[in-house]
Amino acid sequence: MNARMPETALDRRYSEPEAEAVPWPQAEKALAEAELYWCTTVRPDGRPHMTPLIGIWGNGALHFTTGPEERKARNLARNPHCVLAVGDGRYGAGLDLAVEGEAVRVTDLARLAALAEAWVAKYGEEWRFAVRDEAFWHEGGGHAHVFAVAPDAVFGFGKSPFSQTRWRF
């Protein structure tokens, strides 16, 4: 998966007069450095389901894991559209981001091996996985599927000054 360069636009309706569009490299850096993401999927009855998770930004996509029987995995099997959000919780500073796209299961063993190493580099040895059977396997025996969300759009919400930047891919 190759990184794509988006079209960047500031939405003046939701931005203070002095605001400027946030450059995509700044948003990418925030996505890569975030430790916790919020994943929203759609339940079979149409209600949203949101859960926190850890992940890796790389090669133009946000990657996360989930057990095959977990609610988000079952939701994604029916509807791959999801939103992954990150923010630091401050009101008057920082940049909050919402990544919209389709979650696609990663099954390529070489790509999974590279992602497994990225998990250890970012989160430590506790998150070391073996790669086999198109999944991550933990020492205790459990396994997880890996998903990639290459964004269709990303929305950035700046808070000093207040702004809304949209990146379309």
Q: What is the pLDDT of residue 37?
A: 98
Global pTM value: 0.94
Instruction: Determine how many CB atoms are found less than 10 A away from the CB of residue 78.
Output: 10
Strand 162-168 with 143-159, pairing: antiparallel
Q: How do the domains of the chain map onto residue ranges?
A: 7-168
Q: Which residue has the tokens 């063993």?
A: 109
Dist CA 38 CA 53 (whole Å): 6
Ranges of residues in the chain with a pLDDT under 70 are 1-3
Among residues 52, 46, 100, 97, the alpha carbon closest in space to that of 75 is found at 46
Give the model's pLDDT for residue 1: 46
- Residue 33, CB-side half-sphere exposure with 13 Å CA sphere: 10
Q: Which CATH superfamily is domain 7-168 in?
A: Electron Transport, Fmn-binding Protein; Chain A (2.30.110.10)
